[in-house]
Amino acid sequence: MITADLHVHSSFSSDSNESPVSIIEECIKKGFSYVYFTDHHDMDFPVSPENPDMDFQLDFDSYIKTLTKLKEEYRDKIEVLFGVEQGICPDVAPRISELSNSYPFDFIIGSSHLTCLSVTKGDPYYPTYYEGMTFVEAYRKYFESEVTNVRTTDGFDVYGHLDYAVRYCPDQSFVYNFDDYRDIFEVLLKELISRGKGIEINTAGITKIGYPHPHIEALKLYKELGGEIITIGSDAHVKENIGYGFDKAEDILKSLGYNYYTIFKNRKPEFLPL
């Protein structure tokens, strides 16, 4: 059994209302040994006038204070760990490393929500992102931006939901063919491995596209290239989704020859058997 969900959001994230206490209690109820808080922080996120509360700026002082208190309160029941999902974008790359060393993080997910600091043109969530491009070109642009991020940014441990853009294609009939992007993924995964970075299986993709992020072929390629660091996260924003799809993620990993998954403490990887 997988005993750690390394991608969970609480009310400290702009897009969640779930209290940290309810998350911890849910993790205990589901038999987890570890609970990771990885709330959103996207530097200089361009706030949309339609969603002014979605600024994705994390109040680190309050965050750390709250989790430190809860870590002590629950120390005999579950291990509470400090994390953050840091939005990566070339424009803010120089500031991310500095932030990563400013707080006692156990774990940092680096995620691409924007290819540039423009909501509608940089975020594949919005249909306008795809204007002037075929869907294949739009995905390639997103994946190429991830290569740039890895080459310019150091303050993270694993890259989150590598093919996040696939969730939001405006034409749901469009088929995501991994071979159309294999060349980019080979470069991307080699860059991550050479820098000692891992990737995550993000099970939120199951509800949107029928399988976790990234595509099973990306997981296969990562192993073939020598990748070993792989975390498992639900990307839960409500407590009910914590651990969702972990049985499927475990089956996928085992089918590809993985024997371990990874947790982090003090930014150091530890490997647990599947």
- When computed from its CA atoms, the radius of gyration of the chain, rounded to whole angstroms, is 18
Integer Cα distance of 120 and 122 in angstroms: 6
Amino acid at 244: Y
In 134-156, which positions are buried (b, 16+ CB within 10 angstroms) versus exposed (e)? ebeebbbbbbebbbbbbeebebb
CATH topology (fold) of 4-273: TIM Barrel (3.20.20)
Q: Six-digit token pair at 140?
A: 């390639």
> What residues have CB less than 8 Å from 261, skipping those under 6 apart?
2, 230, 231, 232, 253, 271, 272, 274
Domain ranges of the chain: 4-273
Pinpoint the alpha helices (H) of 36-82: 60-73
Answer left, alpha or beta for residue 121, where phi above 0 means left and psi between -120 and 50 means alpha: alpha
Q: Average per-residue pLDDT in the chain?
A: 93
Q: Which residues pair with 18 in a beta bridge?
A: none
Integer Cα distance of 44 and 55 in angstroms: 8
> pLDDT per residue over 90-125, tens digit each?
788 889 989 999 999 999 999 998 877 555 568 888
Label residue 137 by pLDDT band (50, 70, 90): very high
> pLDDT per residue over 191-227, tens digit each?
999 999 999 999 999 988 888 999 999 999 999 999 9
Integer Cα distance of 209 and 206 in angstroms: 6
